[in-house]
Structure 1
Amino acid sequence: MSEWREVTLSQLGEVNRGRSRHRPRYAEHLYGGTYPFIQTGDVKASGGRISQHSQTYSESGLAQSRLWPAGTMCITIAANIAETGVLDFPACFPDSIVGFIADSKVVDVRFIEYAFRTLKAGLQHQAAGSGSVQDNINLATLARLKFLIPELSEQRAIADVLGALDDKIASNTRLISKTGEVLETSFALLCGLPQETIPFSEMASITKGVSYRSADLLESSNALVTLKSFDRNGGYSLRGLKEYAGPFKPAQEVAPGELVVAQTDLTQEAEVIGRAVRVPRAPGYEKLVASLDLAIVRPRQDSPVEFLLGVMLQGRFRAHCRSRTSGTTVLHLASDAISTFQAPLVSQDIQENYASVARPILQLRDSLEYEMDSLASTRDALLPQLVSGKLRVRDAEKVLENAGV
């Protein structure tokens, strides 16, 4: 490793905080603007590449902010600590995010973003032990972070290997999002606008998940389905499972193909609450159990489970759930929110027709999610080995070939 050298982040480029420091001052510029405005949630959901934004910033707001160039690495220093992503476009962001502009003659920003991921757990632990009311890390800490870097050509090769895996994961994510759109559109086409409705409680039963203690999160052949099992693109994440050794009632067990709905949300944008997902088989676990943040939805009579999912994928259902939400830091769904929704009353033939359309789409989604889990596991295994120089690029490329990437 003689060709590798140790440097600090500040030696590799500019490290500075975003400039929109006072929320009351910049809030007025967030609507109807021209420039993308990145928030911590956008960075966390980016998967390392920020290609979407949730807000825009106005021309007048730039006087108290800064337009960061494409290629800037964003690092969250409050709320979601030490999340990173590289901007695909110029954007503004608040002082809860630090921007790093790499010296392109010395370092590939993609390499540093990957190397930074290996430091994430340590930074989060450090922030949690700081004793402050809100976990955070400061600019000086980030500037002093040390990295081992090889020659620029080697950095690019390493980033290309890891990027190939992330690109495939991103492709699967987009396809999963499209399957959700197809399911929603198919429901509207086949079921039409209902002339009659019935309370959802007459169509389905709703069972609350188990209340658990952290002491129950032990190595086990059982696992909890949690809020982390819901991704922002409408899919299901196998990586959201937590091994669970505690007690639960038979009704709280989730069988493959059953539906769960998020009853809690940690995001103020209410991205998850009221969202329904179908839980696929989980290789490696005997039983899955719904956590207290979820509700299990099961057909009461002859309604196919796919039809119930179609009902809950409609925007009208999500809007109903959002209207029955309360809380400030954490959002909670009212206990009767799901059961009181007015579901479309359609014939059994129409329900079965929709189910026959939905099943192959859901099977495709399952296969995409299994592949994503495998790809993410491969990336996470290769990443620390590559960015430390313990694994050569050509050996990693053989792993990618075996994985079909």
Structure 2
Amino acid sequence: MDKVRLGTVMTLHRGYDLPNAQRKSGDVPVISSSGISGSHSVAKLVGENVITGRYGTIGEVFYHNGPCWPLNTTLFVEDFHGNDPKYVAYLLEVMLNALQIDGTDKSTVPGVDRNVLHDLVVPYISDLASQKTTTRVLSAIDAKIANNKKLIAELEETARLIYDYWFTQFDFPGENGRPYRSSGGKLIWSDELKREIPAGWHVCTIGDLVTFDRGFSYSSANLCGDEGMPMISLASIDRQHRYRPEELKHINVVPDAEECALPGEMLVACTDLTRLAEIVGCPILVPKTHERFAYSMDLAKLHFDRKRVQKYYLYMALRTSTYHHHIKQFASGTNVLHLDLAGFNWYKISLPPIGLQMEFDSLLEPMLELADEALRENLGLIKQRNWLLPMLINGQLTIN
């Protein structure tokens, strides 16, 4: 392989300012250092584009085929110098992952100078056909990972729609399987909820149904490599209230039993670093990727009586916007928000008969199991990709 300066393979350019107040309704993705972060009516780039973070999240590289607007926190490839754009994206990703500035991890670097990047000496496959062969293998893995993520999102959205149809619109299967409310099912007024609910349902608070265990208090000295015990932390939950497997930590100790969680158990975020309290109070289900997990003090594990409430009904009730609007009012702090778990004692829900909850759970369980299976498959694919990527780009592996 050739060794050349990065600037001979690609020319990087700084992104463009676009304050929120100046954005207009449209379908052009606005790309920041962490990925798509909004939309606009005007595009700065068209065709195949490669974008990476200049400030904020350093090291992630985004390939986007189509119109977009790269923000000023990013660098984008202005000139590919005749190279395959996907190859350029993979090459840039490998170089940024290996980059260390003044001994500091790249994720904490305050900024990246494109002129510094242009001067980096990198391995280079000059033959365009060989570039495309390399990217075809990596792109196939990336496409499967993306499809699995899409499947997970669609399954979660379907679960949300079913919950809304059954327990907000009250069109759960009634007699003879007909929609309850639409077919004239009886509704009664609830003074506690200030709305109608189906006859025979009860009202209670979440605090009546659950108890909590707090997680493990760890220090940086407890963190270790992948051979340690897996630990779910606040970073494991994203702003869409989904589990982030790539943020799983590992620790060199085994916490007490109450500070550990088993697959299928439910955790809620008790801390939040987002400005708008987007994560606090959010529930996630512990995945089946490991036999047992530790979980940090930023989370709490829920225990509930299955004779009164079923897991998936409770899980979906804690994923509604109504619930989140309520619970985030019990979070306080300046830079870090801390949730007062007493807020659960004030959130009232309608509680359907246990038989209907069981019917709902039996409907959701295979869907969420399939989402968990796709998540596990992605972990294997990501591990394979992360091993292949530098080996192919550095020429340690070749493809016939």
Contact 2:101 2:109 in 1 (8 A): no
| Partner secondary structure for residue 318 of structure 2 | helix
Contact 1:36 1:90 in 2 (8 A): yes
Structure in which a larger fraction of residues adopt strand: 2
2:289 aligns with 282
The superposition leaves residues 275-297 of structure 1 with CA deviations (integer Å, 9 ceiling, x where unpaired) of: 322112334x5x31111222212
2:269 aligns with 262
2:48 aligns with 71
Paired residues for 1:175-254 under 5 Å: 175-193=151-169, 195=197, 197-218=203-224, 221-231=228-238, 234-246=241-253, 248-254=255-261
| Partner secondary structure for residue 253 of structure 2 | coil
Q: Compared with structure 1, are the counterparts of its residues 168 and 127 closer, same or farther at alpha carbon in structure 2 (3 Å cutoff)? A: farther
Work out the CA distance in 2 between the residues paired with 1:269 and 1:393. 48
Flag the structure with larger Rg: 2
1:138 aligns with 113
2:177 aligns with none
| Partner secondary structure for residue 246 of structure 1 | coil
Contact 1:177 1:235 in 2 (8 A): no
Work out the CA distance in 1 between the residues paired with 2:102 and 2:20. 27
1:397 aligns with none
Paired residues for 1:166-177 under 5 Å: 166-177=142-153
Q: Which structure 2 segments of 5+ residues have no match? A: 170-195
Q: By how many angstroms is 1:213 displaced?
A: 0.5
Contact 2:14 2:76 in 1 (8 A): yes
Paired residues for 1:45-194 under 5 Å: 53-57=36-40, 67-103=44-80, 105=82, 107-123=83-99, 125-126=100-101, 129=104, 135-150=110-125, 151-193=127-169
Contact 1:14 1:102 in 2 (8 A): yes
Q: Compared with structure 1, are the counterparts of its residues 318 and 218 closer, same or farther at alpha carbon in structure 2 (3 Å cutoff)? A: same
Work out the CA distance in 1 between the residues paired with 2:6 and 2:136. 21
Note if 1:370 corresponds to 2:376. yes
Contact 1:41 1:80 in 2 (8 A): yes
Residue 353 (structure 1) aligned to one of 347, 350, 359: 359
Q: By how many angstroms is 1:272 displaced?
A: 3.9
Work out the CA distance in 2 between the residues paired with 1:136 and 1:328. 26
Q: By how many angstroms is 1:338 displaced?
A: 4.5
Output the amino acid matched with 1:37: V
Contact 1:203 1:301 in 2 (8 A): no
1:49 aligns with none
What TM-score does the superposition give when structure 2 sets the normalisation length?
Answer: 0.81
The superposition leaves residues 228-248 of structure 1 with CA deviations (integer Å, 9 ceiling, x where unpaired) of: 433566543444322222363
Paired residues for 1:15-30 under 5 Å: 15-20=12-17, 26-30=19-23
| Partner secondary structure for residue 391 of structure 1 | coil
| Partner secondary structure for residue 313 of structure 1 | coil
Q: By how many angstroms is 1:138 displaced?
A: 1.7
Output the amino acid matched with 1:290: Y
RMSD across aligned positions (CA): 2.9
Alignment size in residue pairs: 366
The superposition leaves residues 46-99 of structure 1 with CA deviations (integer Å, 9 ceiling, x where unpaired) of: xxxxxxx3323466xxxxxx8123322111121211221022332223321111
Contact 2:80 2:88 in 1 (8 A): no
| Partner secondary structure for residue 118 of structure 1 | helix
Contact 1:238 1:370 in 2 (8 A): no
Work out the CA distance in 1 between the residues paired with 2:102 and 2:76. 19
Output the amino acid matched with 1:297: L
The superposition leaves residues 195-216 of structure 1 with CA deviations (integer Å, 9 ceiling, x where unpaired) of: 3642211111232222210111
Q: Compared with structure 1, are the counterparts of its residues 239 and 35 closer, same or farther at alpha carbon in structure 2 (3 Å cutoff)? A: closer
Contact 1:9 1:15 in 2 (8 A): no
Q: By how many angstroms is 1:342 displaced?
A: 2.5
Q: Which structure 1 segments of 5+ residues have no match? A: 43-52, 60-65, 395-405
Note if 1:41 corresponds to 2:17. no
Q: By how many angstroms is 1:349 displaced?
A: 1.4
